Amino acid sequence: MRAGPVAARKALLRRESRAARAAMSEADRAAAARELLTIVLDLPEAGMAGTVAAYLGVGTEPGTSALVYALWKRGSYVLLPVLLPDMDLDWASYEGPDSLAPGPRGLLQPTEPGRGVTAVASADLVIVPALAVDRRGNRLGRGGGSYDRALARVGAAVPTVALLYDGELIDEVPAAAHDRPVRAVAQPGRGITRFG
């Protein structure tokens, strides 16, 4: 079966984004992670959030382990995703670095009991991965649809923030009907950009 035009454009954009990330030095990625940590922790929404749904970056994604730890140490209840066989996301509590174990697709996942796919709806702030985001908030993910399903469960008033490197906020991300936009992005050199 042939992929439609949106899927084909997404696939091309994913390849370009992954290549650009792979070309970054480890030092540049580490510096970006430190900047993003400060930017997110300085968000008023992060300071007020009782529950934060976040993720642990893998591969060339912006590193988030220090951010997750800092949110937890600050007293937020932190939920992390657990990838299910159908590519949906269960959510479990983060209880420090020792509460993590290797999961599928190179992910680190919490070892605490899952709280169900709807647990993300209890979050006061949702931090998500993205390869790129456009100026309407359309997000390019890895292609499994996991975060589109999760974002569909998040209330309209809850801030959803994608973490990007500089240059990954672009003019257009191809979007299909099932795609869910984010409400803001954080970039190391530009800080927070909000949409709508």
- pLDDT tens-digit map of 3-61: 578 889 999 999 999 999 999 999 999 999 999 999 999 999 999 999 999 999 999 99
Which one, of 4, 33, 7, 15, lies nearest residue 166 by Cα? 33
Q: Is residue 21 part of a domain?
A: yes
Asked if 102 and 87 touch (Cβ cutoff 8 Å), the reply is: no
- What average pLDDT is seen over the chain? 94
* DSSP 3-state of 87: coil
CATH of the domain at 152: 3.40.50.10420
Say how many C-beta atoms besides its own lie within 10 A of residue 97's C-beta: 11
Residue 195 covered by a domain: no
pLDDT at 182 over 90: yes
**Rounded distance, CA 185 to CA 33, Å?**
14
Contacts of 86 (CB under 8 A, 6+ apart): none
- pLDDT > 90 in the chain, percent: 88
Q: Is 99 helix (H, G, I), strand (E, B) or coil?
A: helix
Residue 3: the pLDDT is: 53
Counting the structural domains of the chain, the total is 1
Does residue 149 form part of some domain?
Answer: yes
Length of the chain: 196
Domain membership flag for residue 193: no
User: In this model, does residue 2 exceed pLDDT 80?
Assistant: no
How far is residue 81's CA from residue 157's CA, in Å, rounded to a whole number? Answer: 21
Whether residue 176 lies inside any domain: the answer is yes
Structural domain span for residue 26: 5-188
Residue 155 located in a structural domain: yes
The Cα–Cα gap between 47 and 99 comes to: 23
Dihedral sign for Cα 138, 143, 147, 152, please: positive
